[in-house]
Amino acid sequence: MSKFRLSFVLSFVVALAGCGGGGSTGSNTPQVVYADGLGVSGVATGTTVVGQDANPIYSTSHPSVVLADDGKAMAVWVTHGANYLEDSFAWNQSNANGVWATAQPLSLGAGIPNYDDSITLRANSAGNAVLGWIEFVGQSQTRANRAARFINGSGWDATKFDISGDYSYPSSWDLAMLDDDSYVSRVTTYDSSSGIYTYSLLRQPGAGATEYLFGLQSSSWAQFTAHAVRPDGNFVQYWVAPDATGGYEVKARFAAVGGVAFASFPVASVPAVCAWGGSSGFYFNPMMAATSPTFHNALVIVAGESDCTKHDLELVRIDTSGGISIEATRVNSPNTIVTMAPVIVMDKDGNALAVWKEAPYNDSLAPAQLMWSASLAGGAWSTAAPVITNLSAIGRVKQYGEIALAMNANGEAIAAIRTEDSDTSLVNPSVSVGKFKFASGWADWSRVANKTNISTPAVAINASGSAIVMYSALDVDRVNGKAAQGWSGSTVTKVFALRM
């Protein structure tokens, strides 16, 4: 029997402490370990409870995590009140040895939507961070963007940064924390009276006025944007504009240097930019970008025919070492759709890694494939291949559920997704994790948690390659090696962290 295959057969490990020197013996109580390597609690050895939700009614808390180079970690998650207007935050920090303090409420916002992309936490190498979130405003459920900073030794900003219109798009909202502790935010808002989308790229310093780095307005396409920011604040910006053929052109512009602005230039022409995950029905940002301190930049675009029934996933390399060189490659399989937002990361040398989910375009119940492609320092993209080569030990990849991916400057990465049992007759969700290096590719993936109502995971990795995966779940023991199908109404969701 494979030690990875789910089974109702139990193996028993008896932990015996050695006797001698007058010491007492350890407990002889067997510890139940199932065939998947996880115990009754359904968490991997070394997993720590970081905090919990305030209300037992809710089952997901959507944690976000960052990990500083000195080993200190910070986590923020949603804690639920009596109704959505009372949903707020809690947070916690660990020391450099991974020991977490006591979780604390974070009184920065209320009315946090219960979405995977509701909150975003970004940090610089020093561990100073910025938290961004989407907030319901009033009974109308208008959504607005908010942000606040955390500085070690000073704590959280006393006031939150507010960018709001009649409606804010969470899929177009992202942030970057810079080395000087300022942060850059990308936000799209909608004015219902004019029907105009306004896209802005902003830099918020520690003190003083907000700097507007870039902006545009349109009646539709301004919501499709991407940017990549280097730690020193230099950035490259991408947006979509209609072209003369009835399709769309993806344009780019680099940040001004010494007060001199650069002209925009086209990087791709596509019939359509597709922000909808097919019959699975998930809306996402169809573009994501990465950059490096070198001359290398990368962009991923979910394109397709005019009706977006099928998708073309375009990976674009932009090299500026001698002029501007642009190469685009389609990487997904024919007759597939990209079901969730693809992700892309890059190391300090310009090596890029892209990861995405693809599935048959006409079957919302089929499992997805988690795929990857890499480009080494401006070279061609590798042939797309499955990320999880030992999938039979993991289960199935669901079409929905975001991909968590983080990479350090040295090209070491960690990824995590929510997976499910190969037996789809019961709900048995897990968090599965894998590590990556450009030299060796993906290591075998492993399930690190199998619990009831488990959330989409979050990951972080620091310069030394130390990584962390975080998720929330109902703290209910497993039954026969599967996530419990029932639980007490007083059970609360807890937030779990595992160092890897």
pLDDT at residue number 23: 38
DSSP state, 283?
B
Q: Is 161 helix (H, G, I), strand (E, B) or coil?
A: strand
Phi-psi region of 221 (alpha: psi -120 to 50; beta: other; left: phi over 0): alpha
The pTM of the full predicted model, rounded to 2 decimals, is: 0.90
Q: How far is CA 252 from CA 87, 145, 261, 346, 436, in A?
A: 38, 24, 13, 18, 29
Non-local (6+) Cβ contacts of 346 within 8 A are 228, 290, 291, 292, 296, 297, 298, 352, 353, 407
Nearest 5°: CA angle at 43, between 41 and 47?
120
Q: For the chain, what are the domain ranges? A: 224-400
Nearest residue to 243 via CA among 205, 265, 269: 269
Q: What is the pLDDT of residues 130-170, one digit of tens each?
A: 998 877 776 666 777 888 999 999 999 888 887 665 566 66
pLDDT at 166: 57
289: three-class secondary structure by DSSP: strand
Report which of 432, 469, 434, 435 is spatially closest to residue 450, judged by C-alpha positions. Answer: 432
Residues of the chain with pLDDT under 70: 1-30, 109-111, 113-118, 138-141, 163-171, 208, 221-222, 277-282
pLDDT score for 10 = 34
User: Could you report the per-residue pLDDT of 454-485, keeping only the tens digit for each?
Assistant: 999 999 999 999 999 999 999 999 999 999 99
Euclidean distance between the first and final Cα of the chain, in Å?
Answer: 27
Look at residue 275 in the predicted model and tell me its pLDDT.
87
Closest CA to 354 of 337, 339, 376, 334: 376
Sign of CA dihedral 260, 266, 268, 272: positive
Look at residue 307 in the predicted model and tell me its pLDDT: 87
Tokens of 131: 């938290």
Please choose, from the candidates 226, 357, 241, 232, the residue with its C-alpha nearest in 3D space to the C-alpha of residue 297.
226
Which token pair is 59?
Answer: 């089952």
Q: What confidence score (pLDDT) does residue 77 get?
A: 93
